[in-house]
Structure 1
Amino acid sequence: MKFRGGDDGRHHKVLVDVPCNTDRHVLMEEDNNLFKPGRSEERLALPTLQKELLIAGIQSCSPGGNVVYSTCTLSPAQNDGVIQSALEQIWMETEINVVVEDITYITDIFKDTFRFYDKCRYGQLVLPTLQANFGPMYFL
């Protein structure tokens, strides 16, 4: 995402790597598993927290700077859903002009290494595969 205008921020580049479901870890770990029965409220609250963190990242970005949003989940609500929700709030409540950059070229560069989900509206989602031993990873 690239930003033009709005309040003067402090940083030219901002990484917003949010807490998420960590889908890969829930298959391997019992101790920190967000899908445990007692953790459903925490899991369901993640998109709201993620949106707040993304908006804070956008607001701390200087005009002309860049923000990268990332998760390690397959959840559409925590990926494109958070982007859409944050964009709507920024556009409605601030004067910040957010431009979502097209990063689909990345899929060609890494097509031999990763498998990408091709239905994302905003970012790119690397699907987990045994061959690559990597993923999921969503980024914009």
Structure 2
Amino acid sequence: MNLQKNSRGNNFKKNLLILQTVKFASLVCNDHSLFRLGQLRRALALHVPANSEVSSQVILKRKDATSVEAWTDTDIYDKVLLDASCTTDRRAVTVDDGNIFATTMTGERLDLPQLQTKMMVNALRSVRVGGSVVYSTCTLSPTQNEMVVENACALAGTHYGIQTVERSLKRMENRLSNTGLFQFSTDCRRGSLLLPNLLSNYGPTYVCKISRIL
């Protein structure tokens, strides 16, 4: 399941990458934005034949992932990718239109960690025991990264009896670092933070993998 809410990036690209693996029984894509769901539907129509077996395995949903009370997709998925709305640092320093750091966006920016935490709690509720959640953002902010993961795991444990364990991503870090194009932060308490790099013209990206054990 790819779980997101009103993100500014082209997240349908991640869905298409998942489709190319053909390693799933079904792919559920959730977004609360009708506009973004329309984007995804058009992207799928361009890349996936309508009468193909893969097409029948893709399910689109429109649910508010920030609503803990209304969330009903619990204990049903093996893997969840939470592509969380964030300050989108690279876009924020290059694009003025709709900039999250604008004065008019102060309230939305300050609310982000709380919304991200709710989404992460719902992601943890969505996976079966033995399943895993990958939390991802494109910001350097610890408040939106490891603090969200820590708070969500604590809340999921307190309110839903969910127990979790973090999975190491060091193997991924080593492989990418060995190319000379990618550099990871050494100050990240949880997960992996890929730093912006001119050589790769990429970053930042934060990723943390959490497995549900109860």
Taking structure 1 as the reference length, what is the TM-score of the superposition? Answer: 0.91
Aligned to 1:131: 199
User: What CA RMSD, in Å, does the superposition of the two structures yield over aligned residues?
Assistant: 1.0
1:12 counterpart SS class:
strand
Taking structure 2 as the reference length, what is the TM-score of the superposition? Answer: 0.60
- What stretches of structure 1 move > 4 A for 4+ residues in a row? none
| 2:96 equivalent among 30, 47, 50 | 30
Deviation of residue 46 (structure 1)? 0.3
Q: Structure 2: how far apart are the matches of 1:84 and 1:62?
A: 19
One-letter code of the match for 2:174?
D
2:187 counterpart SS class:
coil
Aligned pair 1:119/2:195, yes or no? no
How many pairs were matched up? 133
Deviation of residue 105 (structure 1)? 2.1
| 1:83 equivalent among 133, 136, 149 | 149
Counting aligned pairs with the same residue, the percent is 38
Query: Higher strand proportion, which one?
Result: 1
2:93 counterpart SS class:
helix
One-letter code of the match for 2:183?
R
Q: Structure 1: how far apart are the matches of 2:157 and 2:119?
A: 16
Q: Structure 2: how far apart are the matches of 1:135 and 1:32?
A: 20
Aligned pair 1:20/2:86, yes or no? yes
1:57 counterpart SS class:
helix
Query: What per-residue deviation string (whole Å, max 9, x for no partner) do you get for residues 58-96 of structure 1?
Result: 101011111100000000000001011111111222221
Q: Structure 1: how far apart are the matches of 2:116 and 2:135?
A: 9
Aligned to 2:159: 93
Deviation of residue 19 (structure 1)? 0.4
Q: Structure 1: how far apart are the matches of 2:109 and 2:162?
A: 30
Aligned pair 1:9/2:64, yes or no? no
Tell me, which stretches of 5 or more residues in structure 1 are unaligned? 1-7
Aligned to 1:54: 120
Q: Structure 1: how far apart are the matches of 2:151 and 2:85?
A: 17
Aligned to 2:27: none
Tell me, which stretches of 5 or more residues in structure 2 are unaligned? 1-73, 209-214
